[in-house]
Amino acid sequence: MNSGTEARTIAFCQELVRLEGLSGGEQAVAEAVEREMRALGYDEVGHDELGSVVGVVRGARDAGTDAAPGALLFDAHVDVVPATEPAAWRFPPFSGECAEGRIWGRGATDVKGSLAALVLALGTLPRAEFAGTLIVSASVGEERIEGLALGHVLAAHPARAAVICEPTGLRLGLGHRGRASLVVEAAGRAAHTSLAGAPAGHPPQAGRGSGINAVYRLTGAIARIRAMTPRADALLGHGHTELVEVSSRPFPGSAMVPYHATARFDRRLVRGETRESVLGGTEQALAGLEGLSVSLHTGELRCYTGRSFTVEAFHPGWAVADDAPHARRARQALADAGLDRGAFYAPYSTNATATAGRAGLPTLIYGAGDISAAHAIDESVGVEELLAASRGYQALARGLAA
């Protein structure tokens, strides 16, 4: 990669960071990516009905008679989460400031830096250096519902393997935990709070309803769920369940016993966990408690193109050992480029839930930056790491495309 391409990569990353691009509002970012792909001479460029941009590059190298059929897909999402506490940032969160060897701003790590590196890397890779077809997907809505938009890209552009661009610190990601958003609801019975209970040993007076406090029922459920033994996985470690939201009705509270209460849990999944096993295991843990129901939260995505989706929040985990054939080839390709930094199993979920978790495609995760910077104040990515990611994407294309 020459100095002109490096400067262009840095400038493109800055441009993308300056375009806010929250989920559902990515149009300006998508248009910038589409423009850059066309300028770089991609063989095909367009966007689908959700607004994801897809570029195609075809190699000229002979793949040989034993080459695997099908295209190699690279994906980086274009959307970001909101920038919280903007006054606390060293630089404005959508400034794209380049200072102290880093590019600063929301999305610099997750994942506009890797997106810029990817678009430039594969757009400038000499065609004679790889075989087959490369598909570059700049997908929408990942921060809202991971895997949804990429699933639509795959339906229109079948692939035999995928590289998902996420912050791995340039380690090669060989799997990640999945994610389910679990909802527990408790039903109670409304009553005036002055009649909510009677002193010990004194039942309510005839005709006076004591009510049933749904929050008390819910707290029992929360305790049971916290006591559940997490499932273990040889590669991904243990699953994890975290309480993220509690609400009750009526709200705001008044002189009425709450008649309904809800808790939502973020559950991180390991291999082998299914929608049925997660719901069934939770129901079993709550056996004997009254007035409770368990379901999956439904996530909503309204694309900037006008398409809308409501999807159950269940995204399976996946992993492969480091001796899997595609993992070995990728490690060798990175090593040949002086970029082998070892393997990595991600604790977070990504668009790979579509390629590996659902479609079963050989999948890798690779990108600049550390996950600890994602969604955080003062998010940034190192310039040198950004440029190394570009070289890494080119190395993976050379090593995996045939």
In a domain, 394, yes or no: yes
- Return the higher-pLDDT residue of 210 and 119: 119
Q: State the pLDDT confidence band at 3, using cuts at 50, 70 and 90.
A: confident
Confidence (pLDDT) at 238: 94
Give me the amino acid identity at 350. Answer: T
In a domain, 31, yes or no: yes
**Predicted local distance difference test score (pLDDT) of residue 292:** 98
What integer is the mean pLDDT of 223-247?
Answer: 96
276 confidence band (pLDDT: 50, 70, 90): very high
Which pLDDT score is estimated for 402?
65
Residue 282's domain comprises 179-302
Residues 320/174, Cβ–Cβ less than 8 Å: yes
What's the structural domain count of the chain? 2
pLDDT at 210 (0 to 100): 79
pLDDT tens per residue across span 375-400: 999 999 999 999 999 999 999 999 99
What pLDDT was estimated at residue 62? 65
Domain membership of residue 308 (yes or no) is: no
**Last residue in a domain, options 260, 276, 302:** 302
> Are residues 125 and 235 both part of a single domain?
no
Query: Cα separation of 137 and 154, whole Å?
Result: 9
Residue 103 phi, psi (nearest 5): -105, 125
Using the predicted structure, report yes or no on whether residue 201 has a pLDDT greater than 70: no
The mean pLDDT of the chain is 94
In this predicted structure, what is the pLDDT of residue 206?
A: 40
Q: What is the mean pLDDT of residues 296-307?
A: 96
Confidence category of residue 282, pLDDT binned at 50, 70, 90: very high
Listed residue (137, 56, 124, 138) closest to 394, CA to CA = 124
Domain CATH for 201:
3.30.70.360
In a domain, 309, yes or no: no
Helix axes 383-400, 113-124, angle to 10 degrees: 50
Q: pLDDT of 164-191, one tens digit each?
A: 999 999 999 999 999 999 999 999 999 9
Angle between helix 3-18 and 113-124 (nearest 10): 140
Structure tokens at 274: 């299914």
- Average pLDDT on 137-148 reads 97
Let me know the angle formed at the C-alpha of 349 by 261 and 51, rounded to the nearest 5 degrees: 95
Q: For residue 158, is the peptide bond before it cis, meaning its omega torsion is within 30 degrees of 0?
A: no
Q: For the CA atoms of 36, 38, 42, 47, what is the dihedral angle to 10 degrees?
A: 90
